[in-house]
Structure 1
Amino acid sequence: MDLTMSKQQFDVIIIGAGLGGLTSGALLANQGVKVLMLEQHSVVGGCASSFRRKKFVFDSAVHLIGGLEEGGIPYEILNELKIQNNLEICQLSSMYTIQVGKEKIELPKNIEILEQFLISISPSDEEAIIDTLQEIKEIGSSLLTMKLTKRSHGLIMAIQNLSIKQYLADRFINAKIEFIFLSLFPYIGAVPEQIPAPFYMATFMSYNGGGYYVKGSSQALSNALKTSFERGGGQILMRRRVEEILYRDNKIVGVRDHKGNEYEAPHVISNMDVRKTLLSMIDQKNLPSALVKEVKEVIPSISGIILYVAIENDGWERNLPHETFIFPNYKNHQSCNAYNPLDSDSKPWLTVSCTTHIDPSLAPEGHSIISILAPCEEKVIEQIREEKGKEFIEERFWELLDFYIPGLRERAVFYEMATPRTVERYTGNGNGAIYGWKKSIDQQMKIESISRLLIPGLHIVGHWSKYGHGVFGAMNGGRLLATVLKEAISSQISPVS
């Protein structure tokens, strides 16, 4: 029992040391707020963590980060916390590469260059390209900064019920331009006809300044935030699973961990699965019935199969960019959004990351590491795993990679596969959801409603929150919440997130 710790009164308790929790915690702690963070894992970072196998270091999930250019929101957060100079941040020479069959399109490193690049592909679409990018910039930027002008608010209202596919429909003479605009959807998980146009624009603009990678893996970023958090006076307990959020006399009063320790605070931030937070950690009789209803009805995102591979270099690896999106065709519809090992015709999109191009220290000399992700439905994959074994899924996945990336298998010296069950075990995300809630038009109001209905003193960050997902979304959400909470604590008001 942590008797000394459990008797302390904190201003804020944070459940989970993902990027959202680390960011809000570090910002609050460095402003004099008394913060305790509890993390069930042995390392911080959540999806922004890494692991070692033999002499190889793999990022769990994060390979490309937006907003680390000077003036970008994550950059400014790191700068405010005085840890930006402690990290070796590298901008990639290109954003990512699109591959369809044998065709490869290397997208330029930022959106300003993208405009001329797209015009060079289709000069007849010049006016439509310029107008579309301008509107995306205006809407996306205002949503990221939460600074809406009368004009941007009007633009958002006009398209809020359109999917990004509908928004872009019939704008371009050359269909390839639309395809390129839509090619970022693997970072959202839903397909273009499902994704709300404003949300897609915000995600698009989070890479306005290009793609970046932090040397030492994404763990280096998470560790730096942890260092800042502790330097500001924040306290963190590792391998501590929170089992209950304490609610007494109609208010949040703290949490209880799996060892029976109770920690007191009037504000609790959850950086974990909202469903587990609200349906398992707090007595539902203390929650608005409308909130419970919304949480039970909202659908989580897809999960993923992830193959972590180490290869021996012979020059072949030079053909793999830092980040590649492989698509089966130019259609991008629902059929490519869920891999099924039992269906040999199942050809999903893939993300292929080769981080040793930018950071050779992640593998021994003469080797490269590659991570491949395919979207999948958790129930389908785990039923196959139970009935046929993990080895069956691995072999079928290798067959898919033989089709998409010939030459990879024979160069592999090590590999390890994660299925949705693995994702849930290490992240706590139910169903192995890799993007939090499914970001679809029919769910956007419900996700917003969950945020409004939270009981005073309870707050959500990370990719289950209303702020979006990915490194940019998690850090930006953590920053926005920290601002609101600091003001509330200073004035002794308990806001609803």
Structure 2
Amino acid sequence: MKDFDVIVIGSGIGGLVSAGMLTSQGLKTLMIERHITPGGYLSSFRKKGFVFDSAVDCISGVGPDGLIYKTLELLNVNRDVNFIRIDPIRVSMFPNLEITIDGDVNAYMDKLTASFPPEATAIKSFFERAGRVYNELQSALSAIISGRLELNTITPDVLRLMDVSYGELLNDFFKDYRLKAVLSDRCPFIGLPPSGVSAVAMFNMIMSYFKLGAYRSTGGFQKLADVFIEGIKKNGGKVIFGNGVKKILLDRDDNCNGVRCENGEEYTASYIVSNADFNHTFRCFLGGKYSVLADALVYNPGITTSFFIVYAGIEGNIDTHSSIGYFPSYDMEKFFTSDMFFREDSTIGITIASIEDNSRAPDSCSTVVLHEMTGSSDKNLDKADCLEKIMKKAGNIIPLTEDKIIVLDAATSQTLERYTGNFKGAAFGWRQIPGFRGIRRHGIRNLYIAGHWGDMGGGVLAAAYSGAKVAGEILAKEGIKDVI
């Protein structure tokens, strides 16, 4: 008899959603996390009274209709964490143009139409199509999670757009290069330029914020991860921290039999869910012939960019928008080239979460988090020099003077890799390139991959859907359907 029904390796949002769904339906579940706290990229930290989210600006899916909220509801802990809706979602600053991204897509369309009157008809048609594609994707995802996917659920239009780049799609609709750049302002959220990212991936990410809202967790996203753990435990799940998995154990037929931990303890289970990055899963936990799969995936589709992140605690209240995208030019393709990182004319993202959530900073103070795209695990970075350049650039956008800085810290791609285990600090897992259909089959019938190294793409909500998809497949095998 197995020790557990399911073992979940890793406690990023994909692992948390998967373990939450499985535990809520009575499956005996063990979650193993090598760090002493859960969350992965959802983690937060405190310094001198300031609370900083390690990597995330805002997320969707935590409103009453969202997948993450529904999973918390299954665990009966949905009232144990509070969310603040961010509206406007973001402000994008371009040369001589500032566009506010309202939570209401119609209000956003009105702003775009006012700025680009000749494109009014195209703007309407573009968002009508984006809405249709998003709704069709949601129907397919719901069918997958419920265990009732049928072949005709995904329409020919969605299948075709999976092979089309977002840049190609923009060219089909619009003539004004500035408008195409404005509509690409969320590309840094997925780690690819318009020409390199799937149109479906971008539609899904953009529309999720309009349909489900943009939110932050009160007091930091660590609270969300912690509440998930509380819910998993309350529903009978077991969680181990500070003792990572060293090996996935296979039987003679190459089916998973269990895991061996770093301290030598072994646990058996009928199913294994890995929320660890692909490199650990295939090269370290499995090894041997499975290492080849890791090598192949690095080649195609490849991994996304990482970030250099600055955390600043500032004396004084900063009166501006809480999420800002700064783009010194309209050349969105150029921002994703390696020679553009850490230049005066490179793009950065700014998050000032203390504007809506004063629990994140001492009285009359502000938290500022700056994101600059960078290559994965660039070991030649001069951390102090990069920090200085980013602070100088940000100081041209928001008030940041040296004498007002109380806390100043930074994370490189190597820092992100060390604390989250993500290969080379990749921010969004696999590149969501046109034609990407998910990771190649590994042939192990009871091993599942959850998170942004799975089939659903990068970003918090996509990683959550990946975890839900895995849980839905396991539950269906156990005769349990229509959980969410």
Q: Which runs of 5+ in 2 are unaligned?
A: 144-149
Give the corresponding residue for 1:153: 155
Contact 1:215–1:359 under 8 Å retained in 2: yes
Q: 1:112-127 alignment to 2 at 5 Å?
A: 112-127=106-121
Give the corresponding residue for 1:430: 423
Correspondence 1:262 to 2:255: no
- Identify the match of residue 57 of structure 2 among 60, 63, 74: 63
Contact 1:119–1:126 under 8 Å retained in 2: yes
Contact 2:304–2:431 under 8 Å retained in 1: yes
Correspondence 1:212 to 2:215: yes
Judged with a 3 Å threshold, the aligned counterparts in structure 2 of structure 1 residues 337 and 312 are, in CA distance, closer, same or farther, namely farther
Length-normalised TM-score, structure 2: 0.90
Question: Can you list the C-alpha shifts for 1:285-343, whole angstroms capped at 9, x where unaligned?
Answer: 3x496x45533523211111000001011x5x102x111111121110134454767x7
Give the corresponding residue for 1:372: 370
CA shift, 1:211, in A, is 1.1
CA shift, 1:407, in A, is 3.4
Which is worse superposed, 48-57 or 346-355?
346-355
Give the corresponding residue for 1:383: 380
CA shift, 1:426, in A, is 0.5
Length-normalised TM-score, structure 1: 0.88
Contact 2:430–2:458 under 8 Å retained in 1: no
CA distance in 2: counterparts of 1:70 and 1:210, whole angstroms? 10
The residue identity in structure 1 corresponding to 2:156 is G
Structure 1 counterpart SS, 2:263: coil
Question: Can you list the C-alpha shifts for 1:389-418, whole angstroms capped at 9, x where unaligned?
Answer: x32333333333345546354432211011
Correspondence 1:474 to 2:474: no
CA shift, 1:232, in A, is 0.9
CA distance in 1: counterparts of 2:286 and 2:49, whole angstroms? 42
Structure 2 counterpart SS, 1:263: strand
Question: Can you list the C-alpha shifts for 1:426-485, whole angstroms capped at 9, x where unaligned?
Answer: 00012111111122236x14xx242x3341111111111111222211222212211111
For the aligned residues, what is the CA RMSD? 2.4
The residue identity in structure 2 corresponding to 1:93 is D
Correspondence 1:49 to 2:43: yes
The residue identity in structure 2 corresponding to 1:35 is T
* Count of matched residue positions in the alignment of Structure 1 and Structure 2: 469
Q: 1:442-481 alignment to 2 at 5 Å?
A: 444-445=436-437, 448-450=438-440, 452-481=441-470
Give the corresponding residue for 2:391: 398
The residue identity in structure 2 corresponding to 1:247 is L
Judged with a 3 Å threshold, the aligned counterparts in structure 2 of structure 1 residues 152 and 247 are, in CA distance, closer, same or farther, namely closer
Question: Can you list the C-alpha shifts for 1:86-139, whole angstroms capped at 9, x where unaligned?
Answer: 222221120100012464221111324323332333343232122111111111
- Identify the match of residue 195 of structure 1 among 169, 194, 197: 197
Q: 1:60-459 alignment to 2 at 5 Å?
A: 60-101=54-95, 103-146=97-140, 153-207=155-209, 208-250=211-253, 251-285=255-289, 287=290, 291=293, 294-298=296-300, 299-313=302-316, 315=317, 317-319=318-320, 321-338=321-338, 345=343, 347-379=345-377, 381-385=378-382, 390-405=383-398, 407-441=400-434, 444-445=436-437, 448-450=438-440, 452-459=441-448
Structure 2 counterpart SS, 1:52: strand
Structure 2 counterpart SS, 1:206: helix
Q: Which runs of 5+ in 1 are unaligned?
A: 1-6, 492-497
Contact 2:102–2:108 under 8 Å retained in 1: yes
Q: Percent identity?
A: 26
Which is worse superposed, 364-373 or 152-161?
152-161
Which is worse superposed, 169-178 or 106-115?
169-178
Judged with a 3 Å threshold, the aligned counterparts in structure 2 of structure 1 residues 9 and 91 are, in CA distance, closer, same or farther, namely same
Which is worse superposed, 143-152 or 80-89?
143-152
Judged with a 3 Å threshold, the aligned counterparts in structure 2 of structure 1 residues 288 and 403 are, in CA distance, closer, same or farther, namely closer
Which is worse superposed, 97-106 or 258-267?
97-106
CA shift, 1:66, in A, is 1.3
CA shift, 1:355, in A, is 0.5
Give the corresponding residue for 1:15: 9
The residue identity in structure 1 corresponding to 2:170 is L
Contact 1:94–1:107 under 8 Å retained in 2: yes
Which is worse superposed, 293-302 or 369-378?
293-302
CA distance in 2: counterparts of 1:469 and 1:230, whole angstroms? 27
Contact 1:336–1:347 under 8 Å retained in 2: no
CA shift, 1:23, in A, is 0.8
Contact 1:339–1:347 under 8 Å retained in 2: no
CA distance in 2: counterparts of 1:8 and 1:266, whole angstroms? 7
Judged with a 3 Å threshold, the aligned counterparts in structure 2 of structure 1 residues 454 and 98 are, in CA distance, closer, same or farther, namely farther
Structure 2 counterpart SS, 1:453: coil
